Amino acid sequence: MRPAINVGLSVSRVGGSAQTKAMRAVAGTLRLDLAQYRALAAFAQFGSDLDKTSQQQLSRGQRMVEILKQKQYSPLPFEKQVAIIFAAANAFLDDLPVNQCRAFEEELYRFLDNAHPDILAQIREKKILDDAIKNDLKAALTELKERFVADQKAAIPAHA
């Protein structure tokens, strides 16, 4: 599956100017971060020992690539894109296994649609991420993360 966004290429001369301020706020360093991730991943293939910072950068890069994947013919509203990129960029996915990132993403959309539609509406209408929206989004992500992790632990059968 290919990422829905190719952060290395601009599709027009306007490039980032065509993005909303909210998307620019969360994806501003995405191109650079993913380029660094790819370079580090290529370097790590040679089996060298990596420091903690490099390991964390690799880990976050894997999760970022995973959440940028999108099913074909399934466009995602920009406010939901902003929410999941914000979550990944602000370390909410760092301690999740990569194979759970997609499930967390889907759960995030359901959670925001049902429990916090005001957050998505504010992002959609204001097209910016002001401090109030960021704080609301962080609180919602923290609440969801606790539930998600608890549900994942409950789903693992206990061995006797």
Q: What is the 3-state secondary structure (H, E, C) of 92-128?
A: CCCCCCHHHHHHHHHHHHHHHHHHCHHHHHHHHHHCC
3-state secondary structure of 77: coil
The whole-number average pLDDT for the span 14-27 is 70
**Which residues, listed in sequence order, are joined to residue 69 by a DSSP beta bridge?**
3
What pLDDT sits at residue 145? 96
Q: For the segment 28-71, what is each residue's pLDDT rounded down to a tens digit?
A: 777 788 888 888 888 888 766 788 888 888 888 999 999 988 88
- Please state, in angstroms and rounded to a whole number, the distance separating the CA atoms of residues 30 and 33: 5
Q: Looking at the domain covering 15-155, what would its CATH class be?
A: mainly alpha
Angle at 83 between CA 79 and CA 87, to 5 degrees: 170
Which pLDDT belongs to residue 16?
A: 56
Q: Which one of the listed residues 13, 24, 31, 124 is annotated catalytic?
A: 13
CA angle 118, 119, 125 (to 5 degrees): 85
pLDDT band at 74 (very low <50, low <70, confident <90, very high): confident
- Catalytic residue flag (residue 13): yes
- Which range among 49-53, 92-96, 122-126 shows the weakest confidence by mean pLDDT? 49-53
Q: What is the 8-class DSSP label of residue 75?
A: -
Range 78-89 average pLDDT: 92
Burial label, 83 (beta-carbon count in 10 A; 0-12, 13-18, 19+):
buried
- Of 83, 97, 100, the closest CA to residue 141 belongs to 83
